[in-house]
Amino acid sequence: MTFRSLALSNIRGNLRSYSAFFMSSVFSVMIFYMFAAFGFHPELTDSQVIRVTSVRQGMWFCQIIIIMFSFLFVLYSNTAFLQSRSKEFGLLSLLGMTRMQLRKLIVIENMVIAVAAIIAGIGMGTFFSKPFFMTLAVLLKMKDPITAVISFQALWITAVSFLVLFTLISIWTVVQLGNSTIVDLLKSANKTHREIAYSPWLAFFSILSLAAAYSIALILDMNHLVVLAVFILFATIIGTYLLFTQASTCMLRWLSRNPKLYYHRTNMLVLSQLGHKLKGNARILFMATILSAVLLTVSGTIYMLVLAVQIDEIQTQYSDAQGLLALTLFIGMLISLLFFIAAGSMIYFKLFTDLQQDQAHYQALSRIGVTPFELRKIIVTEIGVLFFAPCLVGIVHALVALKALNNLLMVSNWLYSFVIIGIYVIMQVIYFLVACNSYMRSIHLSKGERL
C-alpha cells in the first residue's frame, strides 16, 4: 500500500468528520472566486461607473476577510481533527512508521482535501456566477446585464490563495505533531472525565460583564460612541467566553442539586454528560456565538443604514446611495451565510471527532439497561444544547446591538431584523436535524445494534 492509497483510505474512513469541513471550505472558495471574477471582469475593468468601482473595492476587502477567516477556520479544524486521531497516529508509529512518513501522510491527506475543495469551489463559483452577476447588475442599476465569463485571473488568484493557505496549515499541523511522543499520542485518546471545576466568582463576573455591556449599549449616544464602543465589545466577548466556560457549568451544578429534577428518568445521565460536553466544547460554543451575533448584527445593520439614507437624503441622492447599500446588503448576506455555515460546521465537526469516545460511553449505558429510545433522547438533548445555546446567546447579542443602532440612527423597523432571525433559526434547526440524524446513524451499540 502506497502513501497515496493510505491517505485516500483514511479520508474515506473519516468521511463523515471531513464532510462539514470540506463543504465549508468549498463554500469559502466559491464566494472568493465569485468576488474575484467580478473584480477581474473584462467588461467592468475600465468601467467609469463610480458605483462599480466602489463595489469592486468592497469586494477586494471582503476577499481579505474570507481568506483570514478561512485560515482561522481551517487551522482550528485541522488541529481538532489531529487531536482526535492521536491514537491512530500512535499506533502507526508503534507499527514502525517513522515521524517523517507520518508527516508525509498528513500532508498528502490535507492537500488531497485542499485540491478537491478548490476544484469544487471554483466549479460551483463558475456555475453560480451568472445569477450572481445578474443580481449585481440589477442592484447597480446597470442598463446592460453583466456577461458571465470564466475569468482565468480570478481562477488563478483563487487557486493560489487557497493552496498557500492549506500549505501553511499543513506545515503548522506537522510541526505540532512533531512535539508529541508515541506514548503521548496513545494516551491522548484515553482521557477520562475529571470532576468539572468552575469558579462561582467567574460565573458571576460573566453575568455582570454581559449585563454591563447590554446596559451601556442601550443608553449609548453619539457623544460617547467612540469611548464606550470598545468597552462594550470587550465586555461582551469576555462575558460570552466566561458564560460557556464557567456560568454554564455553575448552572448545571445548581440544577443537579434539585433531587426531583436530577433523579427524574434520564436527567442524571443528561446533566452529567452535558456538563462535560459544555466544558469540553466551551471554546467552540464561544466562537459559534460570536459568529452568530456578527452575522445577525451585520445583516440588520446594513438594512438600518438603508432606512437611515431613505429618511435623511433627498430623492436624487437617495437613489445612488440606496443602490450601493442594497448591494452591500447582498454581499453582507453572502459573508453572513459563510459565517453561519462555519459556525455550524465547527459544532458538527467536533461531534464526529469525539464520536469514538462517545460511542464507548453510549455502549456502556446500553449494557446497564438504558433503552435505545432513552439513548436517543439523551443524544438529542446534548446535541440540541450544543447547537442552540450559541444560537440563542447570539440572537440576544444581536438584538441588543440592533436596539442600540436604532437609538443612534433614530430609526425603528424591527420587521426585517426578526425575519433575518427567523430565517437563521430555521436554518439552524435544519442543520441540527441533519447533524442529529447523521450522528445517530454513526453510533453502534453492542451486538451491531444501531440507534
DSSP string across 283-347: HHHHHHHHHHHHHHHHHHHHHHHHHHHHHHS-HHHHHHHHHHHHHHHHHHHHHHHHHHHHHHHHH
Verify that 293 and 205 share a domain, yes or no: yes
Please check whether residues 173 and 313 belong to one and the same domain.
Answer: no
Which of 190, 205, 240 finishes a domain?
190
Rounded mean pLDDT of 35-50? 65
Whether residues 114 and 181 fall in one domain: yes
Say which residue, 20 or 337, is predicted with more confidence.
337
Q: Which has the minimum average pLDDT: 5-9, 152-156, 347-351? A: 5-9
What pLDDT was estimated at residue 213?
A: 93
Domain match, 113 and 233 both = no
**Where among 173, 190, 207 does a domain terminate?**
190
Mean pLDDT of 193-219: 86
pLDDT at 46 > cutoff 90: no
Q: Which 3 state secondary structure label does DSSP give 414?
A: coil
pLDDT category at 236 given cuts 50, 70, 90 is: very high
Range of the domain at 214: 192-451
Q: Are residues 316 and 345 in the same domain?
A: yes
Please give the average per-residue pLDDT across 152-161, as a whole number.
89
Give mean pLDDT, residues 84-97.
Answer: 74
Average of per-residue pLDDT across 283-302: 83
Q: Which range has the worst mean pLDDT, 45-49, 62-66, 152-156, 249-253?
A: 45-49
Shared domain for 216 and 99, answered yes or no, is no
Dist. CA 24–CA 341, nearest whole Å: 6
How much is the average pLDDT of 392-418? 84
Q: For 250-260, write each residue's pLDDT tens digit.
A: 998 888 888 88
Inform me whether the pLDDT recorded for 273 exceeds 60.
yes
Residue 37 · residue 125 · CB < 8 Å: yes
The residue written with cell numbers 438594512 in the block is 303
- Is the pLDDT at 71 greater than 50? The verdict is yes
What is the Cα gyration radius of the chain? 24
Residues 60 and 153: their CA atoms lie apart, in Å, by: 14
Q: Are residues 227 and 180 in the same domain?
A: no
Q: Tell me which of 37-46, 203-212, 342-351 is least confident.
A: 37-46
Domain boundary residue, one of 143, 160, 190: 190
* 141 and 213, same domain (yes or no): no
User: Interior CA angle at 296 toward 292 and 301, to 5°?
Assistant: 145
On the question of pLDDT at 240 being above 90, the answer is yes
- For the ranges 69-78, 258-267, 359-368, the lowest mean pLDDT is seen at 69-78
High-pLDDT (> 70) share of the chain, %? 78
Kindly state the percentage of the chain with pLDDT values over 90: 13
1-23 average pLDDT score? 71
Q: Are residues 84 and 181 in the same domain?
A: yes
Tell me, what's the pLDDT at 258?
85
Residues 140, 210 share a domain:
no
Q: Which residues have C-beta within 8 Å of that of residue 274, sequence separation ≥ 6?
A: 252, 381, 382, 385
Look at residue 209 and tell me whether its pLDDT is greater than 90.
yes
| Phi (first) and psi of residue 169, to 5 degrees | -65, -40
Instruction: Quote the mean pLDDT of the chain.
Output: 78
Tens digits of per-residue pLDDT, 360-395? Answer: 888 888 888 888 888 888 889 989 999 999 999 999
**108 and 150 share a domain?**
yes
Q: Is the pLDDT score of 316 beyond 50?
A: no
Structure-model confidence comparison of residues 189 and 248, the more confident one: 248
Residue 210 in this model has a pLDDT that exceeds 50: yes
User: Between these two residues, 260 and 97, which has the higher pLDDT value?
Assistant: 260
Range name among 207-221, 267-281, 330-344, 427-441 with the lowest pLDDT average: 330-344
Query: What is the distance between the terminal CA atoms of the chain, rounded to a whole angstrom?
Result: 35
Same domain, 167 and 207: no
Q: Identify the pLDDT of residue 48.
A: 46
Model pLDDT, residue 315: 46
| Domain total of the chain | 2
Q: What is the mean pLDDT of residues 341-357?
A: 76
Which is higher by pLDDT, 122 or 224? Answer: 122
